[in-house]
Chain A
Amino acid sequence: GAGVSQSPSNKVTEKGKDVELRCDPISGHTALYWYRQRLGQGLEFLIYFQGNSAPDKSGLPSDRFSAERTGESVSTLTIQRTQQEDSAVYLCASSLASSSGGAETQYFGPGTRLLVL
């Protein structure tokens, strides 16, 4: 079956512009996560969705970052007024219904590489 897909695969934007990144999770996965991977670093958690609600937004770095999920499927991560430090790979993952501290495997998409000039 299809895995997690993300679009666009690459995005180049100018400082100050808004960008939208899209994630299509694996069908039937109710949990969805966004992570950020800066060059040469590990992944940083941004936000977690269970269904259409986001019980954990603790990783969003500023109010310029927001995310939504509709229909328990597609999610969009929006970055407003982009800054150069936003340049990174943004990875989306999905899993079956997630329980706090559970061992469900998160399946990752290929990521969106964002470059802010």
Chain B
Amino acid sequence: AQSVTQLGSHVSVSEGALVLLRCNYSSSVPPYLFWYVQYPNQGLQLLLKYTSAATLVKGINGFEAEFKKSETSFHLTKPSAHMSDAAEYFCAVKAAGNKLTFGGGTRVLVKP
């Protein structure tokens, strides 16, 4: 079985501040991990994915995430938030099988 926990359903950051979104996973086999972003009334767009090639993964729009096996974590960061980063972010795991298992999502609000 696999599961994902995202700490914090809502995060508020100031423009220019660090964005940190937490994701912890549970998996009985080595997983692949994904971060998706969902803008209002749109589908999900892939930000980045971990495929075991490198533990620090760089994605689009200045986001990156680090896979830490010992902590079973895959936290998403961006050094400086932009107004356009306001969206909902989902962490997902794919281990055995073909489906993605998603966390509950974290909605990011960026304050000017």
Contact = CB atoms under 8 A, between A and B. Distances in A.
Interface of A: 4, 31, 33, 35, 40-45, 48, 50, 55-56, 59, 91, 93, 98-103, 105-111
Nearest to A46: B99
Contacts of B43: 4, 91, 108-111
Contacts, number: 69
Contacts of B95: 101
Interface residues of B, number: 29
B44 A108 contact: yes
A4 B44 CA distance: 11
B44 A91 contact: yes
A43 B34 CA distance: 13
Contacts of B9: 40
Given A102-B32, A108-B43, A110-B43, A31 B98 contact: yes
Contacts of B51: 103
A80 B99 CA distance: 24
A100 to B, nearest CB: 6
B46 interface: yes
Interface of B: 4, 6, 9, 29, 32, 34, 36, 41-46, 49, 51, 90, 92, 94-105
A43 B99 CA distance: 11
Contacts of B4: 42
Contact of B96 (A59, A91, A93, A101): A101
16 contacts: A4-B43, A41-B105, A42-B90, A42-B105, A45-B99, A45-B101, A48-B99, A55-B98, A59-B99, A101-B29, A103-B49, A105-B34, A108-B44, A108-B45, A109-B43, A110-B41
Contacts of A43: 44, 90, 92, 100, 102
A100 B29 CA distance: 12
A45 B51 CA distance: 21
B85 to A, nearest CB: 19
B99 to A, nearest CB: 4
Contacts of A109: 43
